[in-house]
Amino acid sequence: MAGSRVALVTGTSSGIGLHAAVGLARSGLRVIATMRDTGKATALHRAADQAGVEVEVRALDVLDQVQAAALVADLGRVDVLVNNAGRGSVGTLEQLTLDDLRAQLEVNYLGVAALTRLVLPGMRAAGAGRVVTVSSVGGAVGQPFADAYCGAKFAVEGLMQSLAPVAARFGIDVSIVEPAAVASEFVGNVAGTTTPDVDDPYAPLLAAYLKRTEGAFANAQTPADAAAVVVEAATTSRPKFRWQTSDAAVAFASLSLVDLDGSRVLGATTGWLD
């Protein structure tokens, strides 16, 4: 696969990232599948074997900029970047520490920004490239007890929407993908309060929110279905800025968004560069 286009995918040990890595490999790309702990690559290797494809597993903590820079330099070229690594958080602002807020910004925003920044020079020099960032409907609609998470996702969507018209001038397409509830280990990786303290004044509200969330994830989209949209965003000949992964995601995002595919905003801001 020496001549194949190279796709770098973060957060591939499970869920959307795992299935996106396999799907991109099935599309003919050379896939560099990264995760913090490569000892957790068993499920990815199994899925790749079942699909009859190969993926290259590399260690990457998106918060380790030395490691990230070394990886990008070692690859030499990255044609497609899929920013998938992320983590959730439960808590309203008074329950959160500044460290909680920083942690969400670090992994869901700054880590994405830093890795994207590393691949842009090569893409710009090549006159082509694609950056796909897995966001969330929580990047379009703020939700109770998701203050830190939605804040970080709003931030990364603002970053990417601002970058998109500038990057396009150099042949680089920038997209975000917004899943709704997805059945994956992401839920188990959520940081914050999961069992309300009876002395907490927010306890009844948090209990109601958690009950509602359990119902949403009971009817969640499969990670494979969500990943199929990520693969489409990364490989389509007709890229757009904003993608939702299900009818539920479209309906929820539309609570805040009229411009569902991002063309109206980018159509306006692109003209600001002339």
Residues that are catalytic: 149
Could you tell me which residues come within 8 angstroms of residue 36 by beta carbon, excluding any fewer than 6 positions away?
Answer: 13, 59, 60, 61
**Helix, strand, or coil here: 71?**
helix
Pairing type for strands 89-90 and 129-134 reads: unpaired
Rounded-to-integer distance, Cα 7 and Cα 176, Å: 16
Rounded-to-integer distance, Cα 193 and Cα 90, Å: 6
Pairing type for strands 56-59 and 191-192 reads: unpaired
Element housing 57 (H / E)? strand 56-59
Tokens linked to 228: 């199929």
Tokens linked to 219: 């009817």
Nearest one of 73, 24, 72, 80 to 48, comparing CA atoms? 24
Rounded-to-integer distance, Cα 21 and Cα 25, Å: 6
